[in-house]
Amino acid sequence: MTSLSSSTPVPPPKRVLVIRYSQTGQLDAVAEQILAPLRADPGVRVHVETLRPLQPHPFPWPFLTFFDAFPESAHMRPPPLAPLSLKGDEDFDLVILPYQVWFLAPSLPITAFLQHPVAARLLNGKPVVTVIACRNMWLLAHEKLKALLAAAGARLIDNVVLTDPGNTFATFITTPVWLLSGRKRGFWGLPDAGLSAAQITGARRFGLALRDALRSDAERGPHPLLAGLGAVVAQPRLYISEKAGTRSFYLWGKLIMAVGKPGSWQRKPLLALYVLFLLALIVTVVPVSLSLQALFRPLFRGWLTKMKARFEHPSGSATDRSHLYDD
């Protein structure tokens, strides 16, 4: 007697591309939490492309070297990257793009990648999940990144934003100290710089949700994969401060680039002058702006609500699905 058996074809593994650059290591820690569930799934193959500028950016930053990066950051004129391992003809089902915010713009290595000819071939038509880890101002940086993704033909389907839990004025001190000295631990009663350990480990829920979405081919559809997981909480009250800062970085950056290339001695006097200007801006304009916004917030409630919805799109701040991925 012959027994007939039928076997179900095994679908090919889903391929996930991760493009990343982390200077302090914090963004890498977040990315690893997201990637862990994907790597553990035999139905997923993860390729990580770590970006390496030809001229490495130091950490901690020397003082003037740090500010010397702002003109090119503001104008999104990145230095070249070391050769990529990808050629552009590879096919991926999903792209995860973690990035830092430098001077209210995407970091230079990420900008360099998105302007690289390989990027358009890799990203065209592909669903992209962006992941931001920053101090607290990311609204306009993400608008710039979205424009770069659109130019490459990519589909932004989700955005995750993790911000420093410290208050705005504390992080004006702790974040620069961390970047310029490497000291992350708080001092003088100020909190630690950067994300909390709970925020970093909590990013695992996004990886679990992405794993489930890939299993059901949801990445092929038009809907976000991370809705209901508290992916992003926007603070539109910072928008005006970001606009002022972006305008300042752009105008001063244009002037500084006109006198010399990055690292040239001709830029140093103007950079020193700009640091003084920026400190005055932070001490005077930012507090006044936030105070006026607080005073007139009832009059602008409708506008703020619309801005909040705009910047939280597409993933949103709702948490109704978070319980599904609680460890």
In a domain, 245, yes or no: no
Residue type, 262: P
Peptide bond into 287 cis (omega under 30): no
The CATH number of whichever domain residue 156 belongs to comes to 3.40.50.360
Residue-level length of the chain: 327
In a domain, 82, yes or no: yes
In a domain, 175, yes or no: yes
Summarised one tens digit per residue, pLDDT across range 259-284 is: 999 999 999 999 999 999 888 877 77
Cα(69)–Cα(75) distance, rounded to whole angstroms? 10
Cα(29)–Cα(22) distance, rounded to whole angstroms? 9
Local structure of 129: helix, strand or coil: strand
Peptide bond into 314 cis (omega under 30): yes
In a domain, 282, yes or no: no
* Interaxial angle between packed helices 268-296 and 239-259, expressed in degrees from 0 to 180 and rounded to the nearest 10: 170
Summarised one tens digit per residue, pLDDT across range 29-39 is: 999 999 999 99
**Residue 93 pLDDT greater than 80, yes or no:** yes
Cβ 102 vs Cβ 23: under 8 Å: no
pLDDT, residue 4, reads: 47
Q: DSSP alpha helices (H): ranges in the chain?
A: 26-39, 63-68, 70-75, 108-114, 117-123, 139-151, 168-181, 197-202, 204-215, 239-259, 268-296, 301-312
Residue 44 to residues 17, 25, 47, 158, 205, Cα–Cα distance (Å): 11, 25, 10, 19, 17
What pTM does this model have?
Answer: 0.93
Summarised one tens digit per residue, pLDDT across range 66-89 is: 999 999 999 999 999 999 999 999
pLDDT, residue 1, reads: 45
In a domain, 285, yes or no: no
In a domain, 196, yes or no: yes
Summarised one tens digit per residue, pLDDT across range 187-220 is: 888 999 999 999 999 999 999 999 999 999 999 9
- Which stretch of DSSP H or E encloses residue 18? strand 14-20
In a domain, 1, yes or no: no
Cβ 49 vs Cβ 135: under 8 Å: no
Phi first, then psi: give them for residue 132, nearest 5 degrees: -110, 135
In a domain, 115, yes or no: yes
Q: Assign 286 a pLDDT band (cuts: 50, 70, 90).
A: low
Q: What range defines the domain where residue 203 resides?
A: 14-235+310-325
pLDDT, residue 44, reads: 98
Number of domains in the chain: 1
